[in-house]
Amino acid sequence: MTSEKKTESKTKSKTENTLKAKVPEKMEKRLKLFVYGESGVGKTTAAIQFNDAYIIDTEHGSDFYPETIAKAGSVVLHSNIFSEVKQELEKLLTEDHDYKTLIIDPITPLYHSIQEEWAKRFESQLRDKGNDKAAEMGDFGMRFWGKVKSDYKAIQRLILRLDMNVIVTAHQKDIYGSNSSKIGVAPDSMKGDSYFFDNIVRLEKRGKERIAVIEKERAEIGKNKFPEEFTWSYENFLKFYGKDVIERKANVVEMATEKQVNKIYDLLEVVKTEPDWIDKIFAKADVDDWSELTSDQIEKCIAVLEKKIKGGK
């Protein structure tokens, strides 16, 4: 081998060794399902068929099925308040429990309540500044929508992290074209939900049966778990998605402690980092704050900062 080829080979090897990508491992992900349908189709009735469910009921739809819910080993929290729902999701993520499935039924009131809460805050700020006209018109600008999206995204992140099946229902709305003619239907929720969930189902009532129409399923080509349409039943979900996945006990995630968060802030007071270091950390973990990192994630950040203090690179 010539010296030029040796140099080229060493350079190539070095480049390959520093690349971060790796062969993906097969993962059996929990079911993350978004269900929508017209009023009266039975979204609540369908969702509560899942056993051992933690149901967040935002419209009191579960009030009509106490025996069914109790028989399934499920429980209900009535709330559409963002802070309360977020707190419950954090507990489900970090505390040991026997619930296998989270149901949010429906998500629409929760999304609207986030809008209403921020609208009150922005309206109050505008009136304090003497801008009553803008307050009455609800002219809050892009910053308002940024706050709404941030709160809703916090719910989405927790849903993704949960080692539980998740069923989120939504109302259905009509979609109209440029000539005001109806061109289709869609979920009445925040724009982007269709990208967030692995599986999207439109629920239809045909005779006495509820039919799940698969509108989206993330899967390897040719390896879809669900048929295009099937009768909605808990037994069918066990059959198609796998009983071992649906009924697996949830694993607990240890989140960053208050002590770890305080330590990060203390270290950042004395350690000089790259201007975008924090942004990169948050972007990679898909979080907005240090407290949203896991204990392992924040501990690695602490180790990097402590190494810098000791003069390491």
Tens digits of residue pLDDT in 148-191? 888 888 888 899 889 999 999 988 887 888 777 787 887 877 77
Which ranges constitute the DSSP H helices of 82-164?
A: 82-94, 108-128, 132-137, 141-161
pTM: 0.80
Percentage of the chain surpassing pLDDT 70? 89
What are 215's two structure tokens?
Answer: 């509108």
311: pLDDT confidence band, cut at 50, 70 and 90?
confident
> Could you tell me whether strands 182-187 and 199-206 are parallel, antiparallel, or unpaired per DSSP bridges?
unpaired
310/19 Cα distance (integer angstroms): 27
Residue-range domains of the chain with CATH: 32-246 (3.40.50), 254-313 (no CATH)
pLDDT digits (tens, 9 = 90+) for 206-248: 988 999 999 998 888 888 899 999 999 999 999 999 999 999 9
The encoded tokens of residue 118 equal: 């921020």
Of 290, 303, 304, the C-alpha closest to 255 is: 290
Higher pLDDT, 142 or 67: 67
